[in-house]
């Protein structure tokens, strides 16, 4: 049971760091991309709005495994010869971004129109109203769902193991082939993921508490 960890410490650590790396990079990329698409989705320009809606509907209704499959097989065909880590970042981020976009949009939708009207009647400029009234409230409402989406993204990153990325789940194949009991191998890997996801949950809970306002 413990020898799995003792004997494979380097391998597991390597995988753990790989998952962390994937988490950080994909987290940043999908937040940026998600915000961009959300901006499209709520923009006053119809074509951008159509694009945003189409993107969200397409990616939310496509299995992540299929996106990985299409990226890993399709990009070489487009003569984009990137590393598998980059493929994984593209697949995971484009997928997560669709959900993040929706979280941001529903955050914006929670701000009643009266808030903007009140701001205007107080003589605030449009920029002031947006930056001081609307976006802070929308952001506060969007933080919890975005947090859980990022946690879901960590869990989804395990799929990258099937596409040649060095990460936590991917280390299991080597250990099992080397004769370690799959029960303990996978339990320790699960523990590795739990460390990441549960500490993210805790951080999120703390953040929510900080953002909470007494109404």
Partner 1 sequence: MKMRSSVAVAGIAVLALFGTACGKDGSPEAKTPAGSTGGSQGAPGAPGGAAPELPTYTPKTGVALTGSKTFDAAKSRGKLVVGAKEDQPFLGSKDPATGKVSGFDIEIAKMIAADLGFGPDKIEFKAIASTNRENALVNGDIDYYVGTYSITDKRKQQVSFAGPYYIAGQSLLVRKNETAITGKDTIKGKTVCSAKGSTPLQNLQTNFPDTTTRVFDTYSLCVESLLSNQVDAVSTDDAILKGYAAKDPKALKVVGEPFTVENYGVGLNKDDSVFRNAVSDALDAHEKSGDWKKAYDATLGLSGSAAPAIPALVRY
Partner 2 sequence: MSREASVLFDVPGPKARRRNLIIGVVGSLGLAAFLVFVIVRFNDTGQFESAKWDPFQYSGVQQFIFDGLKATLKAFALAAVFSILLGAFLAAGRLSDHRIVRWASTTFVTFFRAMPLLVLIFMLYLVPGSQGWWKWDPMWPLVVGLTIYNGTVQAENIRAGILAVPKGQSEAAYALGMRKTQVMTMILVPQGIRTMLPTIISQIVVTLKDTSLGFLITYPELLAAAKLIGGYQDYNMPFIPVTIIVGTIYVAMCMILSAFATWLERRLRTSRKGKPPAVVPPTQAELSRDNVAIV
89 is a site residue for partner 1 (CB under 8 A): no
35 is a site residue for partner 2 (CB under 8 A): no
The correct pick among 8, 93, 157, 172 for binding partner 1 (CB under 8 A) is: 172
36 is a site residue for partner 2 (CB under 8 A): no
3-state secondary structure (DSSP) of residue 162:
helix
81 is a site residue for partner 1 (CB under 8 A): yes
207 is a site residue for partner 2 (CB under 8 A): no
The correct pick among 37, 64, 72, 100 for binding partner 1 (CB under 8 A) is: 72
- Structure tokens given for 190: 């699960």
Rounded least distance, CB 102 to partner 2, Å: 9
The CA distance from 44 to 166, in Å, is 43
Q: Select from partner 1, partner 2, none the partner in contact with residue 74, using the beta carbon and a kind-dependent cut-off of 5 to 8 Å.
A: partner 2
66 is a site residue for partner 1 (CB under 8 A): no
180 is a site residue for partner 1 (CB under 8 A): no
Q: Tell me the window of 7-15, 21-29, 48-56, 81-89 that interacts with partner 2 (CB under 8 A).
A: 48-56
Which residues make Cβ contacts (< 8 Å) with residue 147, sequence separation at least 6? 200, 201, 204, 207, 208
Contacts with partner 1 by CB under 8 A: the residue count is: 15
The correct pick among 66, 73, 195, 205 for binding partner 1 (CB under 8 A) is: 73
CA 80 from centre of chain = 23
Greatest CA separation for the chain: 72
The CA distance from 118 to 120, in Å, is 5
28 is a site residue for partner 1 (CB under 8 A): no
64 is a site residue for partner 2 (CB under 8 A): yes
The CA distance from 194 to 74, in Å, is 33
Burial of 41 from C-beta contacts in 10 A (0-12 / 13-18 / 19+): buried
Query: Whose CA is closest to 191, among 179, 181, 199, 202?
Result: 199
78 is a site residue for partner 2 (CB under 8 A): yes
């Amino acid at each position: 049971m413990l020898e799995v960890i003792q004997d494979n410490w380097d391998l597991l650590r390597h995988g753990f760091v790989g998952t962390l790396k994937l988490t950080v990079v994909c987290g940043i990329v999908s937040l940026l991309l998600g915000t961009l698409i959300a901006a499209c989705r709520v923009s006053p320009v119809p074509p951008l709005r159509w694009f945003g809606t189409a993107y969200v509907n397409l990616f939310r209704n496509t299995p992540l495994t299929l996106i990985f499959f299409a990226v890993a097989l399709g990009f070489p065909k487009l003569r984009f010869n990137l590393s598998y880590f980059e493929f994984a970042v593209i697949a995971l981020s484009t997928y997560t971004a669709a959900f993040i976009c929706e979280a941001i949009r529903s955050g914006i939708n929670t701000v009643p129109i009266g808030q903007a009207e009140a701001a205007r009647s107080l003589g605030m400029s449009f920029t002031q109203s947006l930056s001081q009234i609307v976006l802070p409230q929308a952001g506060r409402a969007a933080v919890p769902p975005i947090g859980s989406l990022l946690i879901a993204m960590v869990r989804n990153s395990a799929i990258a193991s099937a596409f040649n990325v060095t990460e936590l789940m991917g280390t299991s194949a080597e250990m099992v082939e080397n004769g370690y009991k799959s029960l303990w191998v996978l339990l320790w890997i699960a523990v590795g993921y739990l460390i990441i996801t549960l500490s993210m949950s805790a951080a999120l809970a703390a953040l929510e508490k900080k953002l909470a306002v007494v109404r």
